[in-house]
Amino acid sequence: MRGTGPSRSPPRLPELTFTVAVESTERLDRFLADQLGLSRTQAARLVAEQAVEVEGKPARASRLLSRGERVTVRFPEHEPPRTLRPAAIPLTILFEDDHLAVIDKPAGLVVHPAPGHWDDTLVNALVARGTTLSGGAEGRPGIVHRLDRDTSGLMVVAKTDLAHRRLGAAIAARRVRRTYAALAWGHLDPSPSVIDVPVARHPQDRKRMRVTPDGRAARTDAVVVARFGVADLLRLELHTGRTHQIRVHLEHAGHPVVGDPTYGGGGSRRISGAARRTAEQLERATPRQALHAAALAFRHPASGEALEFRSEWPPDLRAAFLALGAEELVARPDPLGYLLFYDRDG
């Protein structure tokens, strides 16, 4: 479930309002945790302090939300201000019109303001370039879906409330195709594989997710595009969009993303024998999680036109191919295209 973005508010205290955009039975505390980048405990504390209202009335943390309901959060005076400041961060815009923009996000860029990153996010960069965004200019305007800070690649942001609602509904109905490229430890068998296991926040470490029977439904489809000595290059398609979904699912499958500091499971230490040296070289050559949003396809929310975008394997992860002995891929401008990554039947 995603909010349509916060509206302007008249605060003495900082205030955000979200409109629930998709039908769900999600609890209020979980919705707030996802929307604000907080732990569920922090979100529940805001509810307990009567800082949260649903449709203008106080609500319990366990309150189940419905489409169209407005959730308002009034932050205590000690909270950081939520008014966005422009930040001169370069962005690569692949497509833009009056309704939306498609961005090739670099690794290291946080998508929206959150604790520790109030003024240096993608949203701040969009404000700096004068981009009109759905939901106004506070909080998380325009954000239809997210990428982790250290995941690079394609994102769509909404510039109007209509575009935001329709894109959010399309994602919920699985009419938006989001395809990722990843280097994963070991060899996935079989290929293709369907990883269909529920995901929820870890009860002890709220910054982590885990596979658990009482989590939210999550499905990832995985196909091996290229097989190297100690790792596979995978094409992954999301059917749901849970936090850290691909990383958690691949860890669960026993093939964590190379370079993942949270779900890597020891990385090269899983590889033994003569291949251990190659694995160690690969780990040193991978500066962050080797996960990239490589393709994005959807229908334009206003015109209905079919749109499709591609983003090649990023430069900061090219050295990983060298460590894997695939020198021919390092200098190519199109390693994914060369490997037929974008051929869904390949």
pLDDT beyond 70 at 218: yes
pLDDT (tens digit, 9 = 90+) per residue, 114-158?
767 778 999 999 989 988 888 743 456 888 898 999 999 999 999
pLDDT beyond 60 at 324: yes
Same domain, 108 and 168: yes
- How many independent structural domains does the chain possess? 3
Q: Which residue has the higher pLDDT, 269 or 273?
A: 273
Same domain, 66 and 194: no
Q: What pLDDT score was predicted for residue 137?
A: 37
Q: Is residue 86 part of a domain?
A: no
Last-in-domain residue among 154, 172, 190: 172
Same domain, 227 and 312: yes
Report the first-to-last Cα separation within the chain, whole angstroms.
33
Cβ–Cβ < 8 Å for 291, 257: yes
Q: Is residue 48 part of a domain?
A: yes
Same domain, 182 and 285: yes
Same domain, 192 and 315: yes
Express as a percent the part of the chain with pLDDT over 90. 55
Query: Which residues are within 8 A (CB) of 257 and not within 5 positions of it... i.e. 6 or more apart?
Result: 182, 183, 184, 185, 246, 247, 250, 251, 263, 264, 289, 290, 291
Q: How many CB atoms lie within 10 A of CB 345?
A: 5
Same domain, 163 and 186: no
**Residue for token pair 């308002």:** 72
CATH number, domain at 34? 3.10.290.10
CATH number, domain at 111? 3.30.2350.10
Q: Is residue 233 part of a domain?
A: yes
Last-in-domain residue among 143, 172, 201: 172
Query: Which residues are within 8 A (CB) of 334 and not within 5 positions of it... i.e. 6 or more apart?
Result: 312
Q: What pLDDT score was predicted for residue 344?
A: 72
pLDDT (tens digit, 9 = 90+) per residue, 306-320?
999 999 999 999 999
**29: annotated active-site residue:** no
Q: What pLDDT score was predicted for residue 205?
A: 78
Same domain, 183 and 217: yes
Same domain, 119 and 259: no
- 125 bridge partner residues: none
Q: How far apart are CA 181 and CA 222, in angstroms?
A: 10
Same domain, 220 and 327: yes
CA angle 46, 127, 208 (to 5 degrees): 40
Range of the domain at 266: 177-296+308-338
Sign of dihedral through CA atoms 211, 294, 38, 241? negative
Catalytic residue among 34, 148, 161, 260: 148
Q: Is residue 87 part of a domain?
A: no
Helix H or strand E segment including 318? helix 318-323
Region 24-28: what's the mean pLDDT?
Answer: 74
SS3 285: helix
Q: Is residue 80 part of a domain?
A: no
| Cα-based distances in Å from 55 to 17, 64, 67, 209 | 10, 13, 12, 30
Same domain, 28 and 167: no
Q: Is residue 318 part of a domain?
A: yes
Query: Which residues are within 8 A (CB) of 97 and not within 5 positions of it... i.e. 6 or more apart?
Result: none
Q: What pLDDT score was predicted for residue 222?
A: 98
**Residue for token pair 């950081």:** 80
Q: Which residue has the higher pLDDT, 172 or 11?
A: 172
The band of 227, judged by pLDDT with boundaries at 50, 70 and 90, is: very high
Query: Which residues are within 8 A (CB) of 132 and not within 5 positions of it... i.e. 6 or more apart?
Result: 159, 160
Q: Is residue 28 part of a domain?
A: yes
How many residues are listed for the chain in this entry? Answer: 346
SS3 300: coil
Same domain, 323 and 181: yes
DSSP symbols for 218-238: -EEEEEEEEE-SSEEEEEEEE
Q: Is residue 343 part of a domain?
A: no
Lowest mean pLDDT among 35-39, 78-82, 171-175, 262-266: 78-82
Six-digit token pair at 215? Answer: 């989590």
Note the pTM of the prediction, 2 decimals: 0.77
Closest CA to 18 of 200, 161, 232, 124: 161
pLDDT beyond 70 at 25: no
Same domain, 256 and 290: yes
pLDDT beyond 80 at 300: yes
Q: What pLDDT score was predicted for residue 31?
A: 83
Q: Which residue has the higher pLDDT, 206 or 331?
A: 331
Cβ–Cβ < 8 Å for 301, 99: yes
pLDDT beyond 50 at 12: no
DSSP symbols for 91-160: -EEEEE-SSEEEEEEPTT-BSS-BTTBSSSBHHHHHHHTT---TT-SBSSTTBSS---TT-EEEEEEESS
Q: How far apart are CA 1 and CA 16, in angstroms?
A: 17
Q: What pLDDT score was predicted for residue 11?
A: 36
Last-in-domain residue among 74, 100, 125: 74
